[in-house]
């Protein structure tokens, strides 16, 4: 067991992306292993933490900041981004508009967070495409190309099934 106060590094991470892409569900899945109780849009947790042991005996404490729905009004304060060294930039693979917004979220991150912030692009709700292939509206390759052009890490995931959620955070933390 790793004690909560026993760690080598403390990293602030932020969750960004349009409203309803699944940020709060991703955080809850990663921190608690379960999904949040609906409705989630109005719950204003500032951040949650998880201490993880990475390779080479390095233990990091991730302090992960979620929004309380301010992204709906593009009203996220600069305090949300301040000193963030990593970000999960989330879109919904069934909603192309949420993927298009990623450009703007990246600019917001680059101008408000640490200059060398590491960004993991996450295509969430992949479970929907597994159920009905026609629900997929953003190609894996399109997103992967965008990520490589922009120097972002990239994964598709599902907060509902839990697929790749832990992987997204751990790849991001390793890169940081
Ligand atoms: P946020 O506004 O980005 O924080 O999004 P929420 O976490 O509140 O989720 C918005 C909606 O998307 C909720 O109705 C969730 O049940 C749904 N949702 C979130 N993640 C997933 C997922 O991986 N798969 C599916 N099918 N639905 C999801
Ligand atoms: Mg939310």
Q: Whose CA is nearest to atom 17 of ligand 1?
A: 22
ipTM associated with this complex = 0.99
Environment of ion ligand 2 (residues, CB < 5 A):
23-24
Give pLDDT tens digits for 77-122. Answer: 888 899 999 999 999 999 999 999 999 999 999 999 999 999 999 9
pLDDT value of position 176: 96
Which atom of ligand 1 is found nearest the CA of 66? 4
Give pLDDT tens digits for 148-171. Answer: 999 999 999 999 999 999 999 999
Chain centroid to Cα 97, Å, comes to 17
Give pLDDT tens digits for 26-76. Answer: 999 999 998 887 665 544 557 899 999 987 789 999 999 998 778 887 778
User: From the CA of 46, how far away is ligand 2's center (Å)?
Assistant: 11
Lateral strand order in the sheet of 86-92: 47-53, 59-65, 9-16, 86-92, 118-124, 153-156
Q: Is 88 helix (H, G, I), strand (E, B) or coil?
A: strand
pLDDT value of position 9: 94
Which atom of ligand 1 is found nearest the CA of 40? 8
- Pocket test of ligand 1: the residue of 29, 35, 65, 159 to mutate, having most ligand atoms within 8 Å of its CB, is 159
Residue 20 Cβ < 6 Å to ligand 1: yes
């Amino acid at each position: 067991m790793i004690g909560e106060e026993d760690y080598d590094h403390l990293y602030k991470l932020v969750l960004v992306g349009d409203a309803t892409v699944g940020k709060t569900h991703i955080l809850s899945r990663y921190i608690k292993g379960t999904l949040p109780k609906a409705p989630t849009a109005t719950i204003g947790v500032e951040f949650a933490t998880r201490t993880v042991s990475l390779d080479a005996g390095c233990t990091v404490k991730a302090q992960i900041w979620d929004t309380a729905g301010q992204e709906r009004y593009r009203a996220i304060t600069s305090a949300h981004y301040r000193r963030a060294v990593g970000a999960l930039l989330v879109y919904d693979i069934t909603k192309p508009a949420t993927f298009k917004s990623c450009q703007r979220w990246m600019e917001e991150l680059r101008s408000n967070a640490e200059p060398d912030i590491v960004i993991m692009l996450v295509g969430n709700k992949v479970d929907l495409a597994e159920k009905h292939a026609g629900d997929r509206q953003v190609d894996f390759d399109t997103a992967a190309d965008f990520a490589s052009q922009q120097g972002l890490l990239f994964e598709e995931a599902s907060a509902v099934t839990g697929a790749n959620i832990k992987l997204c955070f751990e790849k991001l933390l390793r890169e940081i």
